[in-house]
A and B are shown apart, each in its own frame.
Chain A
Amino acid sequence: MVYGCNAGQEKKAVVFAVGGAPGEVMVWEEVARAFTDESGIPMRILRQPTDTAQRRQGLLVALGSAQRDPDVFLMDIAWLGLFAAGGWLAPLGDVALEPFFIETVRQADIVDGQLIALPFSLDVGIVYYRTDLLTEPVPRTWQALAAAAARAQTRIQPHTPGFYGFVWQGAQYEGLVVNFLDFAGSQGGFLVAGDRILVDSPHNVAALAMMVDFIHTQAISPPNTYTEMKEEEVRRHYQGGDALFARNWPYAYPLHAAEGSPVRGKTGVMPLPAPENGSPAATLGGWHVGVSAFSDARAEAIQFALYLTSRPVQKLLALKLGLPPGRRELYTDEDILEKYPHYELLAEILRSARSRPILPNYTLISEIMQRRLSGALARDYSPAQALAMAQQEIDRMMARTRRDPPGSRPR
């Protein structure tokens, strides 16, 4: 960090904390330069790791100790509750929200009536499938998907031993919770009831039972689903031609379609199926941009946050990084649709996508869930027992990490 008493007329540099692969960081540097050229505000990039949990930890330490830098940063949607409760985010003021997905902004970015972040990029689970292997119509329910998967597997596995009907993220990490929510559909998932988070509903037990069943009974998902399968493992498995269906994020689309990919030109995308007597509800992921409440260049940082979510920059970043943009209007943009035809479907799913609960202790809730869901997938106990244990542990943890009554805000 540079401390100095340069002549007062020099503008404060805005420090932007962002992580990602080397190629991504290069794009960020370009964007920062373009912003400086346009506004005259100097920028500095504080490079973060690629790993999401490590990025959270780095920001948590800086903000928890009220550091003046970084001024502006990207946050995974799952951290917004924590950052808001810490009082770490500066209100962004009046922003026209019409061009965004209003429902998303309402769920995630508005806290106590204040806009504290803006969706920079959105993410939502979709199902990729092999157009050349799926002989029946695109399945609308999990049961139909399982049946199609089983039929294809019986046909193909004898001569391709590693072939499985359906691959998804089941390793013990945040992705397991997201997959579970995707399976549970709109009637399941986390139910926020006053001070409590309810997880042991019959809908959730049924969803978890189905996940166990997919691995162990129907065996349409590989045995290593709950030990090894994260996003990249699922993508490689599917891209290698060894699956009929794969649940993954949109980032996999350009990779599946890349030159030399065995599934190029044979891949379709469909929304998540619905559970029995229910409707699907995709779990929202993605990154939001926020400004530190401790920033020593708040006005300039807000200006940069708005720049990042402006139409031209969002379009440029979507085309360069392949991240589905936060602005709804870009999902009908011709240039974008030409490169990513699946965005039409994404826009449809995003309109009704559901955020994980925006709570300050979401990470702790999720870790309890990860552990118990994983235990059920390993068949250490039944799905009902797993969720009953998770419920008890979450209740205890919530009591310990609750805000003090006088200053508490109902959420």
Chain B
Amino acid sequence: MTRDHRPASDFRQARQPARRPPLTRDQVRGFWFLSPLFGFIGLFILIPVLGTIADSLFRDIVYLPVRFVFLENFRALWADPSFWSAVRFSALFVLVSVPLEVLLGLGIALVLNEPFALRGWVRACILIPWAIPAAVAGRIFQLVYNFSYGAANYLLDLLSISREPLNWLGSDLSAFIAVVVADAWQTTPFAAIILLAGLAAIPEDLYGQAKVDQAGMVARFRHITLPLLKPVLIVTLLFRTIQALRIFDIIFVLTGGGPGGATESLSMLAYRHFAAGDFGYGSAASVVLFLMAVVAAIAYVRVGRFQET
């Protein structure tokens, strides 16, 4: 049950027998148990992904005959300022919102990992924003930022910060911040709950031993919590990065991509073209989004060195 601390290379050597032994009955049976999952992934993930990649190479516009154009859609994307603005928004959004949410989530997880009265209740309550559909969260924040009767302007007035109401969604920067805040409100609980599971898996006696060695709180966090939490931390970052890359609902409801397309994400750009019957172009945008997610995933797996499992 104890963790094996041999370097990863030992495992690799141990896993290279001269000949692969024949599959046991259990392994064959295991394969059958897994087959519905493979079927599911193939049907609902692999086929649509391959279909989208294939479609991105065609001029697939609903009122025109379909024609193979190879990379023409990507060339058109390259020349489209709204594509670059969407890439920039998606990238900035990931860079700002993911670290913010994971840091906040880590803080919440550390607190919730300590024993205190009503801890179970607080843990459950923290999850509420995550349980709310993103479209509803977008609508809630629309009411928060509303110019005439929103809570944000009410607070400004109440705290005597500004008598004049602010048009929160009216400039590129403030609309960006508004989207980040709404998203952080909604998805920080997700980060918190996964990190909390990771914290709970760290054996308590490690901390006991460290205390015997007179390690302070900061030292315990740096030398025990952080290294042992790293795999879970990487998984959380990976999940949040991919979710943040494809952000759609909150923006669609809250800003509609405005003002002037400043908060339009790549997935929203793809959606707009799909909805207009411009399928090949929308597919090309989706492929770019897919590639960005793949790059992020590879980077995280590299950093996390998952080959040891």
Contacts and interface: CB of A to CB of B under 8 A. Distances in A.
Interface string B56-76: 000101111100000010001
Interface stretch (A130-138, A196-204, A219-227, A318-326): A219-227
Secondary structure class of chain B's binding surface, majority of residues = loop
B147 A222 contact: yes
A376 B165 CA distance: 22
Interface stretch (B112-120, B123-131, B257-265, B296-304): B257-265
A257 interface: no
B170 A86 contact: no
A371 B260 contact: yes
Contacts, number: 108
B275 A57 contact: yes
Interface string B261-287: 110100000001101111001000000
A188 B224 CA distance: 69
A86 B279 CA distance: 14
Contacts of B261: 172, 371, 374-375
Interface stretch (B8-16, B42-50, B77-85, B234-242): B77-85
A378 B82 contact: no
Contact of A374 (B59, B259, B272): B259
A357 B61 CA distance: 19
Contact of B259 (A56, A57, A227, A389): A227
A171 B256 contact: yes
Nearest to A82: B63
A376 B260 contact: yes
B249 interface: no
B262 A226 contact: no
Contact of A401 (B65, B82, B259, B278): B278
B77 to A, nearest CB: 10
Contact of B64 (A227, A374, A380, A403): A403
Contacts of B165: 223
A60 B60 CA distance: 14
B260 A227 contact: no
Interface stretch (A30-38, A333-341, A347-355, A359-367): A359-367
A172 B146 contact: no
Interface residues of B, number: 37
B276 A363 contact: yes
Interface string B174-187: 00000000000000
Given A367-B272, A389-B81, A396-B76, A374 B63 contact: no
Nearest to A372: B260
A296 interface: no
Interface in B161-207: 165, 167, 169-172
A227 B170 contact: yes
A377 B259 contact: yes
B277 A60 contact: yes
B243 interface: no
Interface in A62-116: 64, 82, 85-87
B35 interface: no
Nearest to B175: A227
Contact of B258 (A227, A363, A389, A401): A227
Given A162-B148, A374-B258, A223 B167 contact: yes
Contacts of B172: 378, 380
A172 B258 contact: yes
A396 B82 CA distance: 13
Contacts of A223: 147, 165, 167, 170
Secondary structure class of chain A's binding surface, majority of residues = helix
Contacts of B273: 364
Contacts of B171: 378
A400 interface: yes
Given A224-B167, A227-B170, A228-B146, A380 B259 contact: yes
A172 B272 contact: no
A85 B65 CA distance: 11
B277 A64 contact: yes
B23 to A, nearest CB: 44
Contacts of B278: 361, 364, 401
A41 B244 CA distance: 52
B262 A64 contact: no
A57 B274 CA distance: 9
B259 A375 contact: yes
A298 to B, nearest CB: 21
B147 A224 contact: yes
B136 to A, nearest CB: 16
Given A227-B147, A227-B167, A380-B172, 11 more contacts: A56-B275, A86-B63, A222-B147, A226-B259, A227-B169, A227-B259, A228-B169, A361-B276, A363-B276, A378-B259, A401-B64
A-B pairs, top 9 by smallest CB distance, nearest first, are A375-B260, A224-B147, A378-B259, A172-B258, A363-B276, A85-B63, A371-B261, A86-B63, A227-B169
Interface of A: 53, 56-57, 60, 64, 82, 85-87, 162, 171-173, 222-224, 226-228, 237, 360-361, 363-364, 367-368, 371-372, 374-378, 380, 389, 393, 396, 400-401, 403-404
Interface of B: 59, 61-65, 72, 76, 79-82, 146-148, 165, 167, 169-172, 255-262, 264, 272-273, 275-278, 281
